[in-house]
Amino acid sequence: SKDRGRNTYNFYTHQMDQDINRRLRVEEQLRNALKRKEFEVYFQPLVEIKSRKIIGAEALLRWKNALLGQVTPDEFIPIAEQTGLIIPIGQYVIDIAFNATKKWQQQFQSQFKIAINVSPKQFRENTFIDMLKMQLEKHQIHVSSVELEITEGVLLNGDPIINSNLTSINDIGVSISMDDFGTGYSSLSYLRSYPFDTLKVDKSFINDITVDPGDLELVGAAIAMGHGLNLKVVAEGIETEEQYHLLRSLKCDYGQGYLFSKPLPRAEFEELLQTQVKS
Ligand code: C2E
Ligand code: CA
Ligand code: CA
Ligand code: CA
């Protein structure tokens, strides 16, 4: 029994060691990832529900490292946040996404829209607005083409710089979207207090709308409320025709999901866009 006790203890420390090791390894590799050009920006189509046409894309970051292989954003984004590495990484995403957007606007679709995820640390940085303006200028992107997606986490601790950054963003004409709507605690009061343009209903609600009447009711209510507040509504995680048709009947404005396309590397996204323009 003494042995077993020791083994159990060893088992737990071993697991904890592994977790800490993994985190340290990810952090260490993340420090050099930009320099080593290990990131790639993928694009997932943003589709207008009623026409089923691609009207833009969400930029989604991918990281492939020689030692760790492919690491998911759900693992590395929080570590990039905690270490501050999200600042240069976030700027890189905007740079690449604006570059692609400009090209696609010139070649295929002048109204093409780009949505970019901005995490709390990035948003709280007092240089964020200047960086954004600089990138808009550099790529000659019109403000009306850009939407920044923020989660409740950005708004949580009521830092005054957040309010002033949101106001500045709204003033220059860039749109703001509330991402993962419905998963947090205070989404409703935030919608009232801040200048949002778009509400993005979380994919966990879309998942079961065809089987769970409660979820269907909630999504319907979220869309109606969004429209009542003069917001556009995007449904994320649309995977089936059935879900699409329900959302269409609920007058949801835009959608994203594997039904239309997974996030794609730049060249593949461009082919998809090209096909749509020709047809
Ligand atoms: P998110 O902003 O909610 O992005 C949507 C996630 O859902 C993406 O995961 C996307 O690939 C996935 N998705 C899209 N359609 C479907 C579908 O039909 N079914 C299912 N099951 N999933 C779908 P991804 O790319 O792994 O990103 C995860 C999260 O990482 C994002 O969630 C976002 O919070 C964060 N993230 C990704 N790129 C960036 C970035 O450049 N900057 C920041 N700050 N965060 C990012
Ligand atoms: Ca998002
Ligand atoms: Ca606005
Ligand atoms: Ca989401």
Three-state secondary structure along 75-102?
Answer: HHHHHHHHHCCHHHHHHHHHHHHHHHHH
CA atoms of 21 and 186, how far apart (whole Å):
35
Dig out the tokens for 29 from the structure. Answer: 């590799």
Q: Tell me how far the alpha carbon of residue 86 lies from the centroid of ligand 3, in angstroms.
A: 25
Dig out the tokens for 240 from the structure. Answer: 């089936």
Residue of the CA atom closest to atom 25 of ligand 1:
60
pLDDT in tens, 34-74: 999 999 999 999 999 999 999 999 999 999 999 999 999 99
pLDDT in tens, 24-40: 999 999 999 999 999 99
pLDDT in tens, 142-175: 999 999 999 988 888 778 888 889 999 999 999 9
The pLDDT value recorded for residue 34 is 97
Q: Tell me how far the alpha carbon of residue 14 lies from the centroid of ligand 2, in angstroms.
A: 35
CA atoms of 95 and 134, how far apart (whole Å):
10
Q: What is the mean pLDDT of residues 112-128?
A: 94
CA atoms of 34 and 170, how far apart (whole Å):
30
Q: Tell me how far the alpha carbon of residue 172 lies from the centroid of ligand 2, in angstroms.
A: 21
Q: Are 260 and 55 in contact (CB under 8 A)?
A: no
ipTM: 0.98
Ligand 1 site-directed mutation target among 60, 178, 242, most atoms within 8 Å of CB: 60
Provide the residues around ligand 4 (an ion) whose CB is within 5 A.
180
Q: Tell me how far the alpha carbon of residue 4 lies from the centroid of ligand 2, in angstroms.
A: 47
- Ligand 1 shell residues, CB under 6 Å: 44, 59-61, 72-74, 77, 90, 93, 117-119, 179-180, 203, 236-239, 256-258, 263
**Residue 54, SS3 per DSSP:** strand
What residues pair up with 96 in beta bridges, in sequence order? none
Instruction: Please provide the distance, in angstroms rounded to a whole number, between the alpha carbons at the two ends of the chain.
Output: 73
- Atom index in ligand 1 nearest the CA of residue 119 equals 44
Q: Are 33 and 65 in contact (CB under 8 A)?
A: yes
Lowest mean pLDDT among 18-27, 137-146, 256-265: 18-27
- Atom index in ligand 1 nearest the CA of residue 59 equals 41
CA atoms of 252 and 68, how far apart (whole Å):
40
Residue of the CA atom closest to atom 21 of ligand 1:
237
Nearest to 203, CA basis, from 255, 260, 141, 251: 255
Task: Name the residue with tokens 């109204």.
Answer: 111
The pLDDT value recorded for residue 2 is 47
The pLDDT value recorded for residue 188 is 81
The residues, any chain, with a CB within 8 Å of residue 41's CB and separated by 6 or more, are: 59, 60, 61, 62, 93, 96, 97, 100, 266
